[in-house]
Amino acid sequence: MTFSLTVSDEVRALAPGFTHVAIEAHGLVNGPSNEASSALLDDAARRLAVRLDGRAPHEDPHMAAWREIYTAFGSKPSRTRNSAEALAKRALSAAGLPRINLLVDVYNAISVARLIPVGGEDIDRIRGGMRLVRATGDEEFVTAAGGEEVVEHPDAGEVVWRDEQGVTCRRWNWRQGPRTRLTEETVSGIFLLESLAPMPVAEVEAAGAELAELLEKFSPGARIEVHAADPVRD
């Protein structure tokens, strides 16, 4: 992997059942959402409904595990849901899933269908490697509110993804900052699928393989490298 991605010892101690699959992709072609990406999202919503079989998203064992972890680092999971639960809730609502752009639609579809938090970052907008750490509270998280740039600070002890410039995603996988998000100009991306026990490692690896196949379909000729789950759970 040419891109550096590390998980701190403090986070591993907090969540020993955590594992992730990373997909590094170069030569991507992005663009506005289209019929193909919209159909993918519709299919993901159908797959989700079958998976839940009438349950609410938070009743799924994997989503319940994420709620426990959020509580452990001081966040209220009913107010700040992990990205997969939040998307699943939207998928089951009358509004349905948002259409953002091709790359975001693709990884959102995998997240919803598989109930796995999935994120995508523009490698060219990241400063240095990415690290999953527990925040001190002094880090800067640049976001937008009311059309204007706003600087926030994570809570002390909060789990965040960050690079050398600042926080890229708050509360583990709750809110991504606009600086590193995938835009229609993105050509290189890192996609991260995150799971906790009791989800089997094989399941998150299968989700990663499905995402890689879709990236190849939507960006023919892209150079895509899948990095297996780390650390491996029993």
Range with the poorest average pLDDT among 2-16, 62-76, 172-186, 189-203:
2-16
Q: What is the per-residue pLDDT across 48-88, written as a single tens digit (0 to 9) for each?
A: 999 999 999 999 999 999 999 999 999 999 999 999 999 99
C-alpha triplet 98, 115, 56: angle, nearest 5°: 85
Q: Judge whether residue 232 has pLDDT over 70.
A: no
Q: Judge whether residue 233 has pLDDT over 60.
A: no
Q: What is the mean pLDDT of residues 186-215?
A: 97
Q: Judge whether residue 183 has pLDDT over 80.
A: yes
CB count, 10 Å around CB of 228?
Answer: 13
pLDDT at 146 (0 to 100): 82
Q: Judge whether residue 133 has pLDDT over 60.
A: yes
Give the C-alpha separation, 77 to 81, whole Å. 5
CA quadruple 211, 73, 19, 190: dihedral sign: positive
pLDDT at 58 (0 to 100): 97
* Model confidence band, residue 194 (pLDDT cutoffs 50, 70, 90): very high
* Model confidence band, residue 148 (pLDDT cutoffs 50, 70, 90): confident
Using N-to-C axis directions, what is the helix angle for 102-114 and 201-218, rounded to 10°?
Answer: 150
Q: What is the per-residue pLDDT across 19-54, written as a single tens digit (0 to 9) for each?
A: 999 999 999 999 999 999 999 999 999 999 999 999
